[in-house]
Amino acid sequence: MRGEILAATGAIVGGLGLVMGAELLKRADPLLVTAMTSLLAGVVLLAFSDKEELRKLLQMKKELIELIALRGVLLGAMFNMSLSLIPAVHALFLTRLEPVLVAVFAFLLLKQDIGKRGWLLIAMTLIGGFLFITGGGTNELLGVRLLGDALMIGAVTASAYSYLLVKKAATEAGGVSLAAMIFTFAGIILLPVWAITAPLETGSVLLETNNLLLFCGYTLLFSVLGLALFYKSFESIDAWKASALLALSPVTGGVLAWLWLGETLAPIQVAGAAVILITSYMITISR
């Protein structure tokens, strides 16, 4: 039960932080935000990490390098770039495609039998995703939001692919220490990339009072608490169950986005979101 509580708490808190991040990323450079949130989260989590666990992680060089590149750098950059282009509530529900992708990777890489019922649920989830993204029409298939949706789906795909690596590393060396290492090295890599590719004066946007508060909220709620608790849950529960409990993120984050930012969804998008939530949950409990 402890693992379930950790995953559920991480999902609830992370959903609230994601809404703050979405608002911040409409104002600040996504690459800079990714670098700075990673560095701050990494430093905070290192303070709570076990030294022996950190040593174990450093010995798992291959897995650690893959996770830093995949989850820290690629996923982090794509996720934040997507948040800068699409509404927070939209991003929250797109993350529910993850259990579907996990099931697909399990079939392709681990040769696990998905079964007819599994493939039917996957097809239904994809239909729900189409309704949610497009609103039932094709007018949304062009322009900036399509790019944002594509980046979010890419980030979710990278996350789903990395599940096995996260499970192995978190079980052997500890979830909090794993999160600390991924964030710290990702920040160290991304900050110079931002400095080279963007005007340095764009960094001053983060120092504005409102943006600084959003930055701290996004970092502490989404990265430090949300993701660290999620990684920690991998120590005691299966990745599929943790993925199912992430369904709480759209609920809490969506309510905050509605109350604070006034974001809404069309009725057909609500229907699509419901399909995504229901079928994702059914896929997870059927594994």
pLDDT of residue 28: 92
List the chain domain ranges: 2-286
pLDDT of residue 232: 84
Measured CA to CA, the distance from residue 243 to residue 56 in angstroms comes to 26
Region of residue 187 (left: phi > 0; alpha: psi -120 to 50; beta: else): alpha
Q: How far is CA 282 from CA 14, 52, 89, in A?
A: 22, 38, 22
State whether residue 280 is helix, strand or coil.
helix
Q: Is the predicted pLDDT of residue 30 greater than 80, yes or no?
A: yes
pLDDT of residue 137: 57
What count of other Cβ atoms lies within 10 Å of the Cβ of residue 90?
A: 25
Chain segment 86-112, per-residue pLDDT in tens:
887 777 777 767 767 777 777 777 676
Chain segment 41-93, per-residue pLDDT in tens:
999 999 999 999 999 999 998 889 999 999 999 999 999 999 888 887 777 77
pLDDT of residue 243: 67
Q: How far is CA 20 from CA 13, 80, 90, 162, 285, in A?
A: 11, 12, 14, 25, 31
133-161 average pLDDT score = 73
Residue 241's pLDDT band, with cuts at 50, 70 and 90, is low
Chain segment 245-267, per-residue pLDDT in tens:
666 676 667 667 777 767 666 78
